[in-house]
A and B are shown apart, each in its own frame.
Chain A
Amino acid sequence: MARQKRSAPSKAAKTGGGGGASRLAAASSVDELFVNALIPRPSERPLKIYAFDPSVGRFLGNCMMAKVRYESLDPGPVGTNFAVIDYDGTAKTFYAPVDLNSPDVMIGGGLDPSQSDPRFHQQMVYAVAMETLQRFELALGRRVRWRGVQRTSGGEYAIPRGAAQRLTLFPHAMREANAFYSPEAHGILFGYFQASQINPGRNLPGQTVFTCLSHDIIAHETTHAVLDGIREYFTEPTNIDVPAFHEAFADLAALFSHFSHKEALLDTLQKTGGELFRFHLQPEARVAPGEKVMLQDQIDQPNPLIELALQFGEASGARAGLRNALGTPPDPDDIKHKTEPHERGSILVAAVFDAYFTIYNRRTAKLFRIYRAGGGRDVPTDLPAPLADQLAAVASCIAEEFFTICARAIDYSPPLDITFGDFLRALLTSHLDLHPIDPDGVRDALMQAFRLRGIVAEGAEYFSEESLCWPKVNDSLPRVEGLAFGDPNGLTLDEKNENGDVLRAYAKKNAAALGFDSTVAPIAAASFHPMFHVGQDGSLYVSMVVELVQTVSVSLSDSDEDEADASSSLPLRSGVTLLIAQDPPENGVRPAPRVRFVIPKHRSAERTARMRSYYARTGRLLRGRDSRDHESRFQIDFSLLHAEI
């Protein structure tokens, strides 16, 4: 709620453009109405970045131009959504900020890629973070806000008023092989470190490696921040899947962004003969059987599209990227035994990418048939340029579709305690809502890919689409009278205040039907976001996603004789996500908003046990000395999560 309230004023200023109205008024004749000396405000700012990271070198498409939403920038760059502040916590110094509005810089589309100039680093961090944010905003159909309320009650880390608009990026925050989103610092900290002396991969032994120059790492961390902004309670690791989900989701966002860069796609398509999912690229120069590799062009390279953070992985001696999307063959037992968040998360990533490549194959099959009908070889060794173009277009179109349903699935997830199974149900439901007609079987591909990896949905009775999608609510639930949907650019402050009251009242009145016990604690409306999308049938759908959450305090241990101090209790939350639709007017009257989905996470003995167990496993039951420790220990600590990659 509070998050919503604070974000009111920013939009008009940003989208308004120049002040044309007053000039128009000065027009003396009708003819002059159409004459305008204003230079149109650019919609995009081109900025040079690495598509992967510096280690990929002159790989075609590695140096690319990102197009980010145009805004006036102060040196830093400091803009509306991001401020890059280059403070080094190890060297205790600031570095000179880049002025992206300076003509010398602007004319070349930003500074040229360079590892030695911190100002290029600032430019790249800004560009990739903006790119990621915009991709989310496009997919969600609304503006994204950063976390605007502090998570723990200690005043030390309070987020100042208005700061929910802007996240700070620190490109060189520390000397450490680590990069993480820090809710406390309200920003993302990127580290730099020396590459391994023994096994530096493609880096020079001991060279400085900057995490802020890895496209993947920036996209990954920005996604953490976006997710934390959308969902208040997803940073509470209440079961083993929660931190893994955070990692998987961030990896998905980073990987799908690879598929949006056409240059990189084209090169990979050429080197895989159109089979984008191949682990290895064919070397530029062929190696005859029995012959040894003599030239650099004969060395086969890993497929950069499905690898994450190549340079980082190699620099720390792992010989490959951090993770890749299709690392291991599917094994339903993995879900039982992989407990480390990144490993567990990669199961989910692999499942989504399995479905992605399945659809890619389905949609490109015809193209390959046409190619063969025209006399092409079975497995093309030299893809004709128009075919490569077509394939790239299909690949990036599917990537966009998948990214959109992944992002939208967040809105279809329960407000807390998410599991992989919940995410599957959310994915299917969001896809059904966005693309009810599904000729290529995207939903089926997802279901099968998840099943292959042992991810099951709790509470679903059958393995079928209708059973796996969240059940629709029938008419017995009352309508939400008085809810305001605003327009796609957001709600006004009054509308927000009004909506908050409406929703709390609705939750209280219908507590039992929604699965709450209204006597134990108040039910809070943690967030509400209007959503707009044009359906496949061409009509505009207006809806709102609402999180209702109830928090009670329970004892840490299940025996009553435990120490009765404050730290032996933990917050136990339950909640529902409501999807409320505003139907079009009928007979001249707009009907009251209707609840379509109630996506629940209710209190249950099993959930409580699961939570206690996870806290025990991760050592959170042991109390630290720090007074702040009490509440913060029940939060994901991204700094340590990533340090352990």
Chain B
Amino acid sequence: MAGVARKTKAKPSRPKRTKRAPPKKPGKTRRTTGATRRPSTRGSGGTRRKPAPTAPGSRGGQPPGGGAGSSAKLRIRMFRVGFGDFFLLTVPTPKGDRFILIDCGVHHTDLGSMRDAVAQMARDCGSQLALVIMTHRHADHISGFGTCRDVFAQFTVEQVWMSWLEQTSNPNAMAYQASLTTAAARMGQALAVRLAAKDDDDTRQLLAMAENITGGLDATGRSTGNQAALDVLHGGFKNKPQYCFFRAGDIPTLPPDLAAAGLTAEILGPPADPQLIKQMQNKTQQYLDANHATDQPVKSKDPFPAVFRAREEDYPKSAFKFYDARRMTQLIDAVQPDVLAAQARAADNTLNNQSLMVHFTFGGKKLLFVGDAQWGNWENFLYGGAYGPGRTALTERARTILGQLDFYKVGHHGSANATPKSAVSAMREGSAAMCSTQTGSYSGVPRLPLLEALSKTMHGQVARSDQVAVDGTAAEKTAGPLPSQFQSQGGKLFVDYQL
């Protein structure tokens, strides 16, 4: 009951835009909040210790500085799953440790460690999560919810955060997401046809982009992978959590125990553009229509009857004065645009720009989780709109936030267009970063100059998920050793950082 009271009390302070899905039945909500009480009694016994003996082998070496005196320290655990994000935050509260899960997915270069990682996470938190954050609906951020739905079915979750574009009660948002998925599914099919005809890296990468949106297709060409994961997020937990949908500028109300521990949060993205959905929907409509015309094998009839066909000899000599006929036809054949590729990339960016950007403050420490936010999303936060003539300076707020940062989750697996240089240079010197990445997935990911720039700003405190091994895959040699400020249990499965 206390939880409910707190909720109503906090309500007026929140900005109008912050929406929660209204609880279906008041009775259920009460039960939900009731459920949140349980971990407090169970968890206080030492959630951090308890799972230790059950962990297979590697759990023994608790980092010396971390465990003992640091009841006030927050721990970030990054799991290595391949090309995907999977983070668990442990927040010490007066009632014991509470847990926040940020994304759980892998897509390209799946190392097969997802199940191990989820099992480890379940032990870590005793299947009790105060908060689940889904940054955006790409397979590499949510697939784990689908593949491990049996594990998540045993979880109690207090709150789930998603972007406003995921609000099930917003028919426009839902229609938009559905059309984007359909478009991606069609692009995927077309790209698969192309790949079968000619195997090349570019096509493979584009196909991966399309599949990242759908999460893979079943035999009938219906998108299943991501839907399964979304189904879990929207109702596959043991209890019915409270759902919150945010956009830039919102100040969420955290679950009571986290709030009591002094954790606060602010949403920096995605931007709240009322026109956004409409514009994007128009685009998607065009992807759909254009796709008929691009890579589908041409079955429809020719535009003109055969009588109009001609040969180059039917043209006067003057027509080929500058370019001969062969060269001209070659040119036309060569400059046919690769619309499909542009669409696949655009769709990929669109989804990344839906990413929820969350800024946490805990015990004076500031943490920034940006999902896969790319330029559109960042620009809004950094410059208050599109970076362009007359708008090239960081806003005061962006400078403050970045200048006081203690921890940064590197966006989009360290790709070139996901962490602007201006953001890196504005970050506080000596802060730390974690980058969940995997070489050989996308060209230019992770982008080494970016990681080097981060490392320079952060005095070397940048960890990569591929600096630890998982069953069947060794640590990536080119990634170098794990910096000493981070901890890993026997160099396997996950990396920890405490602050």
Point out residues on A near B: beta carbons under 8 Å: 74-76, 78, 83, 85-97, 116-119, 160, 162-163, 166, 168, 170, 172-178, 180, 182, 184-187, 189, 191-194, 196, 206, 208, 210, 239-241, 316-318, 333, 335-340, 343-344, 419-421, 456, 458, 557-559, 561-563, 606, 609-610, 612-614, 616-617, 619, 621-623, 625, 637, 639-640, 643-645
Contact = CB atoms under 8 A, between A and B. Distances in A.
A186 B328 CA distance: 10
B189 to A, nearest CB: 18
A184 B335 contact: yes
B310 A194 contact: no
Contacts of A317: 285-286, 289
Nearest to B341: A640
A616 B416 contact: yes
A32 B334 CA distance: 60
Interface in B241-300: 271, 273, 275, 279, 282-283, 285-286, 289-290, 292-294, 298, 300
Contact of A239 (B294, B329, B349, B388): B388
Contacts of B389: 239-241, 419-421, 458, 610
A12 to B, nearest CB: 19
Given A118-B308, A186-B323, A619-B417, A316 B290 contact: yes
Given A609-B422, A610-B389, A621-B417, A639 B328 contact: no
A637 B337 contact: yes
B43 to A, nearest CB: 43
B129 to A, nearest CB: 35
Interface in B332-356: 332-339, 342-343, 345-346, 349
B350 to A, nearest CB: 11
A337 B386 contact: yes
Contacts of A85: 315, 319, 328
A316 B332 CA distance: 24
A76 B319 contact: yes
Which one of B282, B329, B380, B390 has the highest number of Cβ atoms from chain A below 10 Å of its Cβ?
B390
Contacts of B444: 622-623
A560 B309 CA distance: 58
Given A94-B310, A208-B303, 16 more contacts: A94-B311, A162-B322, A170-B332, A176-B336, A178-B290, A194-B293, A316-B286, A317-B285, A337-B380, A339-B386, A419-B389, A559-B452, A559-B453, A613-B422, A619-B416, A643-B290
Given A160-B322, A178-B337, A241-B388, A173 B345 contact: no
Contact of A617 (B304, B335, B387): B387
B3 interface: no
B376 interface: yes
Interface residues of B, number: 74
B421 interface: yes
A339 B458 CA distance: 32
Given A94-B309, A621-B416, A640-B337, A76 B315 contact: yes
29 contacts: A78-B319, A87-B328, A88-B303, A94-B310, A94-B314, A95-B310, A97-B319, A118-B304, A174-B332, A176-B290, A178-B290, A184-B334, A185-B331, A185-B334, A186-B323, A189-B332, A192-B303, A194-B300, A240-B386, A316-B290, A318-B282, A336-B386, A337-B385, A343-B279, A458-B390, A606-B392, A610-B388, A613-B421, A622-B444
Nearest to A159: B322
B387 to A, nearest CB: 5
Contacts of B271: 337
A536 B271 CA distance: 51
A76 B316 CA distance: 8
A210 B292 CA distance: 16
Nearest to A76: B319
B322 A419 contact: no
B387 A176 contact: no
A339 B273 CA distance: 12
Nearest to B285: A317
B12 interface: no
B375 interface: yes
B485 interface: no
Contacts of B380: 337
Contacts of A343: 279
A609 B388 CA distance: 10
Contacts of A95: 304, 308-310
A188 B455 CA distance: 48
B201 interface: yes
A640 B286 CA distance: 13
Contacts of A184: 331, 334-335
Contact of A96 (B289, B310, B331): B310
Contacts of A333: 385
B449 interface: yes
Contacts of A96: 308-310, 314
B304 A94 contact: no
Contacts of A163: 322-323
B384 interface: yes
Nearest to B315: A97
B361 to A, nearest CB: 28
Nearest to B287: A644
Contact of B319 (A74, A339, A344): A74
Contact of B449 (A562, A612, A617): A562
B391 A336 contact: yes
A340 B286 CA distance: 14
Which one of B283, B337, B421 has the highest number of Cβ atoms from chain A below 10 Å of its Cβ?
B337
A87 B375 contact: no
Contact of B335 (A189, A337, A557): A189
B231 interface: no
Nearest to B337: A639
B473 interface: no
A196 B335 CA distance: 25
B420 interface: yes
B116 interface: no
B270 to A, nearest CB: 12
Nearest to A621: B416
A75 B315 contact: yes
B315 to A, nearest CB: 6
B222 to A, nearest CB: 19
A27 B377 CA distance: 81
A458 B417 CA distance: 27
B302 A559 contact: no
Contacts of B391: 336
Nearest to A160: B322
The 9 A-B residue pairs with the shortest CB-CB distance, nearest first, are: A336-B385, A639-B337, A419-B389, A617-B375, A74-B316, A163-B322, A240-B388, A643-B339, A185-B331
A168 B420 contact: no
A561 B416 contact: no
A419 B388 contact: yes
A338 B336 CA distance: 28
Given A185-B332, A317-B285, A610-B388, A177 B302 contact: no
A96 B275 CA distance: 47
B318 interface: yes
A173 B150 CA distance: 54
B310 A193 contact: no
Nearest to B276: A337
Nearest to B288: A317
Interface string B120-164: 000000000000000000000000000000000000000000000
Given A83-B319, A174-B336, A421-B390, A645 B292 contact: no
B314 to A, nearest CB: 6
A196 B291 CA distance: 11
